[in-house]
Amino acid sequence: MKTWYSVVGVLLITTFTLLLEIPSDTWLTSATLSLVLGATALAYMALSCLLASRWRWVERLFGGLDRVYESHKWLGIWALVFASYHLVFKANLDLWQSVPIIELSKYWTRMVRQLSYLALGLIVLLALNRNIPYGQWRWWHKLSGPLFAIVILHWLSFKSPIALDNPSGIWLTALCGLGLLGALYKLLLYPLLAKAGEYRVSAVTLEKNSLHLELTPLHRGFAFKAGQFAFLAMREKGLREPHPFTIASAHASDGRIEFVIRALGDYTQKLRQQVKVGMLADLYAPYGRFKRRLDAGREVWIGGGVGISPFISWLQDAAAGRFDQATLVYCCNPSRAFPSLETLQGLAEERGVDFIGHTDGADRLGETLKRLASETDPQQIQISFCGPKGLLARVKTLMREHAIPERNLHYEFFEFR
């Protein structure tokens, strides 16, 4: 499921069901467009709340939690755009048989209308503002569910041709119901039901602005696949907010789990400063569908900076299959590389993986892909990528230059927020 599938699909279904309820000679009016866009904004918000629930079936449908959050973000943005038009232009005509589903006084109907737009704007602006510290941002974003309830009340209280027993009413009711369930689950039940286990920090390695964490389960660990990630929540003041990190180890019999973390944001910097052996943590996992392409003629793994983490996990997964067709490319700043190039090269040699360290950014990456494309049919080269967006764009450009199909590129979105 791609992002545009949900954005366009919901728009088309909402439009079709609404047009069934109004005279055809009013379809090409600003009122009809306002009604359609307002209802679609409501549907987008409902679906966005559903996606934020982190339910497993939602992740499977979209092909990974990173894709879920990408769709979640764009649904919110388009909901604000559509709601802006809906706010300006009247969404009613005298020819329509319009009645409110819930009768409110004129004052409260107007008040709820204004509050619903402010609620939507606040949700989207908070979600996109990267200057807010993560801990504050997360708690503000928790208000999305309650604020969504105000938007639903606006739909129910204003005059429209939508009735609960007609196609558009059934469609919106179903989406809003699922959205509210998702929001309530994430707000109240997720901390209790989604926890994978309780862990204790057993080892901490600090390296400049990075750290390596090893945690052991207090009871038993959870099953995961190499390349997946977990939400880590330390039981310490200021570190309790669950934060996503790629698991940098393969599944171990004793349940031990490792993370390689770059201290770039406010949360990770505080984590690096405060974490100590013996601290307790909760893990919510596993998530992600970043898997090896074992059917490839040549696997190329490209890790940028801390994006090397899933490939460390792959290297440690002895049961994953053959490694002789894999090439690991690590693009990093040598002064900030963690683990070091030497450590990664040692891990790669143990598995028979060809290792290439690029310490000059992406400048030499083109030479590497050119050489690999000359040694293997470009159609048979499968590239797995984890790293920043700028490097991803460079990889896509180089793939086109060397006739490697873009469908052969598999990557996770590097940032959730």
3-state per-residue secondary structure call for 171-197: HHHHHHHHHHHHHHHHHHHHHHHCEEE
Instruction: Tell me how far apart the alpha carbons of residues 391 and 364 are, in angstroms, rounded to a whole number.
Output: 12
Exposed, middle or buried, 187 (CB in 10 Å: 0-12/13-18/19+)?
middle
Question: CA–CA separation, 213 vs 312, rounded Å?
Answer: 14
Partner residues linked to 160 by β-bridges: 99
pTM of the complete model: 0.84
What is the sign of the dihedral through the CA atoms of 174, 176, 177 and 181?
positive
Cβ-Cβ contacts under 8 Å for 414 (sequence gap 6 or more): 307, 386, 387, 388, 389, 392
Q: Which domains does the chain have, with CATH numbers?
A: 3-192 (1.20.120), 194-287 (2.40.30.10), 298-411 (3.40.50.80)
For 229, what's the count of Cα atoms within 13 Å in the CB-facing half-sphere?
27
Q: Where are the beta strands (DSSP E) in 322-408?
A: 326-331, 354-358, 381-386
Q: Which residues of 394-411 are buried (b: 16+ CB within 10 A; e: fewer)?
A: bbbebbeebebeeebbbb
- Alpha-helical segments (H) within 205-299: 266-274
Task: Measure the CA–CA gap between 385 and 311, rounded to whole angstroms.
Answer: 9
* pLDDT (0 to 100) of residue 367: 86
Among 197, 215, 196, CA closest to 205? 215
Please, are residues 329 and 363 in contact by the beta-carbon 8 Å criterion? no
Q: Tell me if residue 404 falls in helix, strand or coil.
A: coil
Tens digit of pLDDT at every position of the chain (417 positions):
788 999 999 999 999 999 999 999 999 999 999 999 999 999 999 999 999 898 989 999 988 888 898 899 899 889 989 998 998 898 889 889 888 899 888 888 888 888 888 888 777 777 666 666 666 667 777 778 888 888 899 899 988 999 999 999 999 999 999 999 999 998 888 888 888 889 999 999 987 778 899 999 998 888 888 888 999 999 998 888 888 898 988 888 888 999 988 887 788 889 999 999 999 999 998 998 888 888 888 999 998 887 888 998 999 887 777 888 899 999 887 777 777 888 888 989 888 999 998 776 566 888 889 999 999 999 999 999 998 888 899 999 999 999 999 999 998 876 655
Model pLDDT, residue 195:
84
CA 217 to mean position of chain CA atoms: 26
Among residues 343, 309, 327, 344, the alpha carbon closest in space to that of 382 is found at 327
DSSP code for 26: G
Determine how β-strand 195-207 pairs with β-strand 210-217: antiparallel
C-alpha to C-alpha distance for 69 and 242, rounded to whole angstroms: 15
- Burial of residue 65 (CB within 10 Å: 0-12, 13-18, 19+) is buried
Residue 348's φ and ψ, nearest 5 degrees, are: -65, -40
CA distance 147 to 278: 39
Residue with tokens 């918000």: 45
* Amino acid 414: pLDDT: 60
